[in-house]
Amino acid sequence: MKKIDPYTKEEFIPKRRNQVFANSKNKTDYHNAQANELRERRAVIDKKIHSNHMLLLELLKVKDRIEIDEKILEGKGFFFNVFNHTAKYDNRWANAIYEFIYFKEKDTNIIIIRDGRF
């Protein structure tokens, strides 16, 4: 019984009942292509999260907590619309990027805290 290789669309005769690809190179190439496509889809957000994390590392180089004006943070290139989790701090939920929690305090001030749990 012949099968069709999902990567190259070539017809082949399988040597095993559960064989999906014509050869191991096609299998590897197929899975690498799938992984690359997923990486490209995630890159739009991952680049912004990475950029935010690097900025927070720089801002909190020697401190564990700062208060900064939202416009200053925005001017430094911070993306407020991306984060990788939320964390509870002082009975409120806040956005977080890796070990940093940030939330708006007052009108335009942003509090950034290095979370010691991470």
pLDDT tens for residues 11-67? Answer: 999 999 999 999 999 999 999 999 999 999 999 999 999 999 999 999 999 999 999
Over residues 8-13, mean pLDDT: 97
Give the pLDDT band of residue 106 (cuts 50, 70, 90). confident
CB distance 95 to 102 below 8 Å:
yes
**What's the pLDDT at 107?**
79
Bridge partners (DSSP) of residue 4 are: 11
- Residue 58 CA, chain-centre distance (Å), reads 19
Bridge partners (DSSP) of residue 104 are: 110
- List CB contacts of 20: < 8 A, sequence separation 6 or more: 3, 5, 6, 27
In eight-state DSSP terms, residue 79 is -
Radius of gyration of the chain measured on its C-alpha atoms: 23
| pLDDT > 90 in the chain, percent | 88
Write out the two tokens for 69.
């004006």
Q: Which of 91, 97, 22 is nearest to 59 (CA)?
A: 97
- Mean pLDDT estimate for the chain: 94
**What's the pLDDT at 68?**
94
